[in-house]
Structure 1
C-alpha cells in the first residue's frame, strides 16, 4: 500500500472512530508500527489528526466546542440527533456520553424542554448549560484529556447511584457478534456503568461504524434497546439488528 493510500485510510478511520491505535492500524494494513508512527506524525504535522501515545485522535478533541461544519459526517449526525430527540420527554432523567453526535443533539434540544441531563462529557455539559429549562448534573472525577470526559472510580460510583430513564450512548463500533466496542479502557468503564444505571439504552451511530469492531467490549446486543443511525430502519444493513430484537430508528 502506498503512503498516500495508507494515510487516507488512517484519516478515514480517525474520522469514523475518533481514535485509532498504532497497533491496530499496523495489523490492518500489514505494515510495521514504525511506518504507522511516521504516517501519524506527518498527518499530525499537517494538522489533520492529533498524535498521542500509541495512536491518534480526531481533531474534534482539540476543541471543547467543536464547530458543526467541521464535524465528520455532520449531516448524518444531525439526522441521528433528531431521531434521538424524539425519545426525550419532559421530566426525564437522561444519561449521555460524549461525542459529536451527542453534541448535535445538545444543540437541537428545544428551549421549552424540561429534563435532567447527567453527563461526564465537558463539551456536552457546556452545551446543556445553554438551555434555560434543563437541569445539568456533572459527574466529576479525573479528566481524560484525550476524550474530554471525566473517568475513574468516583465517576463510576456516582453513575451507579443514578436510576435514569434513558442512556444515550455515542458508539464507536457495533457488531452482531461482538456487540458494542471501543478502544479506550476508561471510557468503556464509564459507558458500562451508564448502561447499568438506565432503564433503556439507545446507541447512536453513523452507519459506517455498524459491523465494525474495537478491542474492548462495552456490552452485548441484548443490553441495547434502540439503535439510531442515519439510515431508514428498513435498510438491509440494519436487518440483523432488528432480528436480534433491537428497535431500529
Structure 2
C-alpha cells in the first residue's frame, strides 16, 4: 500500500472514531509499527491530527471549541435536533462524550428544566450555559484519548444514578454485533451507563453503521432509540429494525 493510501486510511479512521491506536493500525494495514509512527508523525506535522502516546486523536475531538474541525458537522447537527425531541422538562439525563453529544448540548431549549450527569468536561461546559439546567460532572481519571472521565470511581458514581435517558455516542454499530468499541475502559463506562438508565438513545452518523470493532459493549436489543442523520425509513436502516428499537 502506498503512503498516500495509508494516510487516507488513517484519516478515515480518525474521522469515524475520533481516535486511532498504533497497534490497531499495524494490524489493519499489515505494516510495521515504525511505519505507522512515521505516518502519524507526518500527519501531525501537517496539522491533520494530534499525535499522542500509542496513537492519535482527531483535531475536532481535542477541543469542543474548534467547530471548524468537526467531522460531518451537518450530519451531527441533524442527529442532535432529533435527540432533543426525547428530552423533556424534569428529566434526569446521562450523557457520554463526543462531538455529536456536544452538538446536542448546544441546541437545547433555553428554558429547559433538567438535570444532566456527564462524564465529559466539554459537554459540561456547554450545558453550564443554560441557567435552568443542573449540571453534574462525574469526576475521576481523565482519558486523554477519549476526553472523558473513567475508572472505578466513575463507575461507582454512575451506579448510583437512575437516569430517565442516556445519550450515548458510539464508535461503531452493527445489526448483529450491536455496539462495539476498541477501548476497554470506555466499554466498561458505556455498559454501566446503559445499566443505570431507563432508556438509551444511541447517536450515530451513518458512516459508523455496519462496522464491528473488537470489544462488545451491548446488543441492539438493549437500545431504545437509534438516531442517525438518515430518514427513519431509509433502506440503510432496515437491518436495524428490532421490536423495541425506535429509529429516529
TM over 0.5: yes
Task: State the TM-score, normalizing by the size of structure 2.
Answer: 0.96
CA deviation vs aligned residue, 1:129-178 (integer Å, no higher than 9, x gap): 01111011121111222222111111101111111001000111111222
- Between 144-153 and 20-29, report the one with greater CA deviation: 20-29
Distance 1:92 1:243 in 2: 26
State the match for 2:138 in structure 1. Answer: 139
- Between 121-130 and 29-38, report the one with greater CA deviation: 29-38
Task: After TM superposition, give the deviation of residue 66 of structure 1 in Å.
Answer: 2.6
Unaligned runs of 5+ in 1: none
Q: Over the residues paired in the alignment, what is the CA RMSD in angstroms?
A: 1.3
Distance 2:49 2:19 in 1: 9
Distance 1:210 1:12 in 2: 14
State the match for 1:214 in structure 2. Answer: 213
Q: Residues 60 and 71 of structure 2 are in contact (CA less than 8 Å); yes or no, is this contact kept in structure 1?
A: no
Distance 1:217 1:34 in 2: 29
CA deviation vs aligned residue, 1:90-114 (integer Å, no higher than 9, x gap): 0000000000000000000111110
Distance 1:132 1:24 in 2: 43
State the match for 2:58 in structure 1. Answer: 58
Unaligned runs of 5+ in 2: none
Task: State the TM-score, normalizing by the size of structure 1.
Answer: 0.95
State the match for 2:98 in structure 1. Answer: 99
- Between 130-139 and 97-106, report the one with greater CA deviation: 130-139
Residue 19 of structure 2 is aligned to residue 22 of structure 1: no
Residue 150 of structure 2 is aligned to residue 160 of structure 1: no
Q: Moved runs in structure 1, 4+ residues, more than 3 A?
A: none
Report SS of the residue matched to 1:203: strand
Distance 1:23 1:245 in 2: 37
- Between 33-42 and 107-116, report the one with greater CA deviation: 33-42
State the match for 1:31 in structure 2. Answer: 31
Distance 1:24 1:184 in 2: 11
CA deviation vs aligned residue, 1:29-81 (integer Å, no higher than 9, x gap): 23233222211111111111112232211112332x33323210000000000
Distance 1:145 1:163 in 2: 27
Compared CA separation, residues 164 and 243, structure 1 to 2 (3 A)? closer
Q: What count of residue pairs does the alignment treat as equivalent?
A: 248
Distance 1:52 1:182 in 2: 19
Distance 2:62 2:98 in 1: 13
Residue 192 of structure 2 is aligned to residue 187 of structure 1: no
Report SS of the residue matched to 1:91: coil
Q: Residues 221 and 244 of structure 1 are in contact (CA less than 8 Å); yes or no, is this contact kept in structure 2?
A: no
Distance 1:21 1:142 in 2: 20
Report SS of the residue matched to 2:168: strand
Task: After TM superposition, give the deviation of residue 188 of structure 1 in Å.
Answer: 1.5
